[in-house]
Structure 1
Amino acid sequence: MSNSPYYGAILATGMLVTGTANTLLTKLQDKQCVRNCADPDPANREYFEQPVWQTLNMFYGEMLCLACFYLFNVYRRRTTATAGYERIEDEAASDDPKAGSAGVQTKPIAGWATLWMWIPAACDLLGTTLMNVGLFFTTASVYQMLRGAVVIFSGLFSVLFLGHRLARFQVISLALVVIGVTIVGLSNIISPPPQVYKLHILPLDDTESIDTGAWKAALGVVLVLGAQVFTATQFVVEEKIIRNYHLTPLRAVGLEGSFGALTVMVAIPVLHVLIGRSHPGGYFDAPDGFHQIVENPAVWQTSIYIMLSIAFFNFFGLSVTNYLSATSRATIDTCRTLFIWMISLALGWESFSWIQVVGFVVLVYGTFVYNRVLTLPF
């Protein structure tokens, strides 16, 4: 199968479909009414707003990657490994030491050393939770476009903490990404989406005085952009770990999912005691969030779909990196933003904006230049 000329196209299509589905399903879950749904006034209805539970759901999806890793390991021991499986897994079934980026032999990560993966898991936890809250106040396409800002922070952090040097074209491309992200963010503030979500970050008594519309749209932009700082930190820490230990990508995702899920499960009751009990109905009201999930079939069914889409997205993404290239993966990841935007328009979740189109074009061009997909004319 892996020798087929269509194999790469199948992997790319799988990554594109599952990545697009992940963002759209999360936004669909946010749109589920959980209380006062029969009220004719939409302002009185309550929608699913549980970013912490959504983060836990994401980590469960990543944990499935660890299960896949061990299944491939068992399969390899019982059958003759084919070249296709070795390529998909990046030799995931083998824990033999590999040469690091500097040509230094690295040892397999095991025992207490695996706890290093808790650091990127914590960054993933903070970044994903902030993005989940930001998605309440932005459209799915703007949310996905703003996530492209991770290139800016990862580029800067790689210089500061990993000793990388940016070429001139990469500096220019990062400037283009900054311009594109700024335009996209402004488009969301100038033409904010209909606001049906309450600011449960604050005490409920204080939300009544907060103006809806542009202020919430700006908050959504800030939250999504701020989350990219944690995501970029996660990437830098992962690279630092991989320099010292041999760790296959699929196992790395699975370990992060396991550590992240454990952290969230411990944090949920603690945050409920410290914050949730005094702010009923808020983001940290654990019993309320649990009941919203189990008592609404559309919510828990969507949670299952999101979990599966995350697992398959990571699998297809790693397969594309190993079978094709990291550049191909970055290109496909950018293309899914376009599909998310078109589907959101078709579903009526957002309105067309030329400002957003301009920002998206500048953002994509800067990203493609940074990843060497395109070259600057000069």
Structure 2
Amino acid sequence: MFIGEMGCWLVVGLMALWRRFKGSAPEDRGYQAVDTEENGDAEAAPQADDRTKLLHTGPSILRGYRVALLALPAICDICGTTLMNAGLLMVAASIYQMTRGALVLFVGLFSVVFLKRHLHLFQWLSLVGVVLGVAVVGLAGAIWPDEKPENSIGQPEEDSATDGGLSDAARAIVGVLLIAGAQIFTATQFVLEEYLLERSTIDPIRVVGWEGIFGFSVTLLAMFVLHATIGSTEAGKYGYFDIVEGWRQMTENKQVLISSFLIMISIGGFNFFGLSVTRSVSATSRSTIDTCRTLFIWIVSLGLGWETFKWLQIVGFALLVYFTFLFNGIVQPPLEFLRVPDEEIEELLPEEPIEHR
């Protein structure tokens, strides 16, 4: 994952070479706001230019050694991803999806508490509606589960289904708690990124690159420590923390190797677009849009024959998309008392936070 994020520096280097080739000097001033006001008086143009420059004259929090602050969201990403994957091993994918839907509520709550955001009543109802939509999708999977393919990694299916002698009920409870805890880390990551991006002019693609460097360094250090203390012991051999066994499985299994490579490529773009949404709109909007990823995963899974069509999932996805549009102001609340004046709602794409040069 973090190797893919570090690949964003390759894109940054290619962009620098392109600027050099075109003969334009790169400006390290971050994104610049665009003045959309039409001024008929030519004398007003210099004033507009001065006003535009003042938007980014404040000190940037991600300058010099302070860029290391990006290690904080990277660490939250590590914790969230690890807990979610550990929980997914203990519960069905449908339960995983339902529990993961709580992310939008955590992000909304943290944005109000720590970033002093103000969410209207219809936006809170939209967040609840997004969670409800994800829950309906997961409920459909729980009622009509699809047959799972046999384990092809070399580990017996019955062995992979057991975990320290825990009963199915205990495994489900532990799995749900792990996934729910992961949403707190992911929500913290989103809110931290919004806080840092609001106070800096650094491009989102550079943010992804720096998070990749810090995340890779922390992961590498943790891997060696866990391998030395657990993975290299007799009890931990062939377990989760055995680096040698993990490397063997990845290199000897072609499907795992190709999947890992494709994930590295996609994760860089995924985080870049996510950070762009965070900077342009908000972390809460990013979380609601990110939840819609379930819809596209479902469509692809249907095309590949990994899932069967269920009408209840259509209801869940309809709720998911509608309440996402409602939260982001694309559609109006159906009830009059939920509606607020347009000037009291933050723009979906405001001018000041981010604009392309």
Q: Given the two structures, how large is their TM-score scaled by the length of structure 1? A: 0.67
C-alpha distance after superposition, 1:289-333 (max 9, x if no partner)? 1111112222112211111122344456677899x9889988975
Report the alpha carbon displacement of residue 166 of structure 1 after superposing the two structures with TM: 0.8
- Partner in structure 1 of residue 38 of structure 2: none
- 1:7-26 aligned within 5 A: none
Q: Residues 66, 147 of structure 1: CA spacing in aligned structure 2 closer, same or farther, 3 A cutoff?
A: farther
The alpha-carbon deviation at position 275 of structure 1 amounts to 3.1
Which residue of the partner structure matches residue 14 of structure 2? 71
> 1:301 aligned to 251, 258, 265, which one?
258
Q: How does 1:159-178 map to 2 (within 5 A)?
A: 159-178=112-131
Corresponding position: 1:376 with 2:319: no
Structure 1 letter corresponding to 2:163: T
C-alpha separation in 1, matches of 2:311 and 2:133: 13
Give the one of 168, 176, 185 matched to 1:230.
Answer: 185
Q: Secondary structure at the match of 2:60?
A: strand
| Maintained 8 Å contact 1:149/1:178 | yes
- Identify the structure with the greater helix proportion: 1
1:207 is aligned to 163
The one-letter code of the counterpart of 2:27 is S
- For residue 230 of structure 2, what is the amino acid of its counterpart? I
Q: Which amino acid aligns with 1:174?
A: L
Give, in angstroms, the shift of residue 127 of structure 1.
1.3
Q: Does structure 1 residue 258 correspond to structure 2 residue 213?
A: yes
Structure 2 unaligned blocks of 5 or more = 34-53, 336-357
Partners of 1:268 and 1:284 within 8 A in 2 = yes
Distance (whole Å) between structure 2 residues aligned to residue 330 and residue 167 of structure 1:
17
- Aligned CA-pair RMSD: 4.0
**TM-score, normalised by the number of residues in structure 2:** 0.70
Q: Secondary structure at the match of 1:107?
A: coil
Q: Relative to 1, partners in 2 of residues 1:244 and 1:319: Cα closer, same or farther, differing over 3 Å?
A: closer
Pick aligned residue for 2:69 from 105, 116, 120 = 116
1:316-331 to 2 correspondences below 5 Å? none
Which residue identity lines up with residue 94 of structure 1 in the other structure?
A: E
Residue 61 of structure 2 contacts residue 196 of structure 2 at CA under 8 Å; is this kept in 1? no
Q: CA deviation at 1:182?
A: 3.3
Distance 1:205 1:164 in 2: 44
> CA 1:208–1:182 in 2, change beyond 3 Å: closer, same or farther?
same
**Which structure has the greater CA radius of gyration?**
2
Matches within 5 A, 1:19-38: none
Structure 1 residue 249 displacement after superposition: 0.6
1:95 aligns with 2:50: no
Q: 1:188 and 1:230, CA in 2 relative to 1: closer, same or farther beyond 3 A?
A: farther
Structure 1 residue ranges without an equivalent (≥5)? 1-57, 83-92
Question: Does the C-alpha gap of structure 1 residues 302 and 98 become closer, same or farther in structure 2, counting only changes over 3 Å?
Answer: closer
- Among candidates 316, 322, 327, match of residue 359 of structure 1: 316
The whole-number CA distance in structure 1 between the counterparts of 2:101 and 2:62 is: 30
Percent identity (aligned)? 46
Shift of 1:274: 3.0
**Structure 1 residue 360, shift from structure 2 partner:** 2.9
> What CA distance in whole angstroms lies between the structure 2 residues aligned with 1:377 and 1:251?
41
Structure 2 letter corresponding to 1:232: A
Change (3 A) 1:353 1:215: farther
Kindly tell me the number of residue pairs found equivalent between the two proteins: 305
Task: Work out the CA distance in 2 between the residues paired with 1:328 and 1:171.
Answer: 12
SS of the residue 2:122 aligns to: helix
CA contact (8 A) 1:138 1:193 kept: no
